[in-house]
Amino acid sequence: MLAGTAGVLGGAVLRPTTVRSQTGAAPAVAVAGSSPPGSRYGDPAWWAQRKEEILEPALEIVDPHHHLWDRKEHRYLLDQLLADTGSGHNITHSVFVECGSMYRADGPAEMKPVGEIEFVNGTAAMSASGQFGKSRLCAGIVGHADLRLGDSVARVLEAEIAAGDGRFRGIRHSVVWDPSEIFSRGRTNSSQHQMADATWRSGFARLAPLDLTFEAWLYHPQLIELADLARAFPQTTIILNHVGGPLGIGPYADKKEETFAVWKAGIAELGKCQNVVVKLGGLGMLFGMFDFHTRETPPSSEELARAYKPYIETCIAAFGPDRGMFESNFPPDGVSSSYAVLWNAFKRLAAGYSADEKAKLFSGTAKRVYRLS
């Protein structure tokens, strides 16, 4: 057993036979054994079974990763976001990350993602009015642009900058790929070695001149490929999503220790790239290493902290607090816990760090990377 992972990486995991991206456009799937009936994103009635006192309620938090959508199977718009961010923790700002919401119905296909920026900027303006509290939600916006357009993606990026009205910070072009068909390849249907493609890289090269960041959403076997990209573009800030996407179902279900070792090696390599920062979260999603969603009652923050500790501590050791930031990844991570309990877990995980280090992990790094005032 790997040091520090006893009781964390072992055990059978009850999961759906097919998994689609929780931030993609695929329909909902049945979750075997899930307590929140029919939900991939958690259920308030399920969360209500686990109430906790908020730890360190005054600690400033910038949530650097959440979504907004209105789908047939699930709604997560400003009202739902406010319910979560207002559940006790001191959320001062948030950053929206693309999820295929409210694309334009008309016009050139490559320009349709601009509609998502227009939609979220409206939500941000509502929050900035102060009528919904002191939190400045969606203060930063991360959209999507298809880097396979090559140099011509610049036109899309410029339109998104304009639509963001000063809030647009970068893009996410999902590159998730695995040979197993149970794993989503995203709305863009990523190809193997997408990040090495010359045309894709020519599109990627348009980000830094526009002072835009790149959100890297991939699976753990692809971490070394991302390190190669980071070394090729040292002037581009790359934000690794969800601690690098360690997989725990399908062909990986019985290879927990091997997966952890491969993931850890990839994180160590990426940590050497000073232009890469990491989001500490996303571990509660359905394709991951844990089965909290199968329980009759939600886990406590102590349980979450114990389970997530090997991943969070490995990332902080590799990147440092200057390049790490806790994230909610809501609503997808809501399948494993409530928003309030999740942030309590993060605070437990950070208990051994200094006040300055905690400030960076919970708000400082996110403010710097996303240029939030």
**Model pLDDT for residues 134-155, shown as the tens digit of each residue:** 999 999 999 999 999 999 999 9
pLDDT above 60 (res 235)? yes
250-269 pLDDT, tens digit per residue, is 999 999 999 999 999 999 99
pLDDT above 80 (res 344)? yes
- Mean pLDDT is lowest, of 25-34, 212-221, 266-275, for 25-34
Listing DSSP states for 289-332 in one string gives S--GGGSSSPPPHHHHHHHHHHHHHHHHHHH-GGGEEE---BTG
What per-residue confidence (pLDDT) applies to 21? Answer: 38
Structure tokens at 112: 């349709």
Q: How far is CA 257 from CA 1, 135, 196, 248, in A?
A: 7, 41, 28, 10
pLDDT above 50 (res 15)? no
What per-residue confidence (pLDDT) applies to 7? Answer: 37
What per-residue confidence (pLDDT) applies to 42? Answer: 85
State the pLDDT confidence band at 185, using cuts at 50, 70 and 90: confident
pLDDT above 80 (res 129)? yes
Q: Which residue has the higher pLDDT, 165 or 287?
A: 165
pLDDT above 80 (res 11)? no
pLDDT above 50 (res 272)? yes
What per-residue confidence (pLDDT) applies to 184? Answer: 81
Which domains are present in the chain?
Answer: 53-370 (3.20.20.140)
| CA 116 centroid distance within chain | 17
- Mean pLDDT is lowest, of 111-120, 175-184, 195-204, for 175-184
Q: Which residue has the higher pLDDT, 348 or 6?
A: 348
State the pLDDT confidence band at 41, using cuts at 50, 70 and 90: confident
pLDDT above 90 (res 26)? no
Q: What is the pTM of this model?
A: 0.91
pLDDT above 80 (res 353)? yes
3 state SS of 139: strand
User: What's the CA gap between 230 and 274, in Å, rounded?
Assistant: 9
- Tell me which residue has tokens 């005032």: 373
Helix 114-128 and helix 153-164, axial crossing angle in degrees, nearest 10: 20
pLDDT above 80 (res 2)? no
In whole numbers, what is the pLDDT of the chain averaged over residues? 91
User: Looking at residues 6-21, what average pLDDT do you find?
Assistant: 36
Q: Which residue has the higher pLDDT, 192 or 8?
A: 192
User: Looking at residues 50-55, what average pLDDT do you find?
Assistant: 98
User: Looking at residues 185-189, what average pLDDT do you find?
Assistant: 81
pLDDT above 60 (res 39)? yes
User: Looking at residues 271-298, what average pLDDT do you find?
Assistant: 96
Burial class (CB in 10 A: 0-12, 13-18, 19+), 238: buried
User: Looking at residues 332-356, what average pLDDT do you find?
Assistant: 98
User: Looking at residues 86-114, what average pLDDT do you find?
Assistant: 98
Q: Which residue has the higher pLDDT, 306 or 5?
A: 306
Structure tokens at 24: 């993609």
57-98 pLDDT, tens digit per residue, is 999 999 999 999 999 989 999 999 999 999 999 999 999 999
* DSSP state, residue 155: H
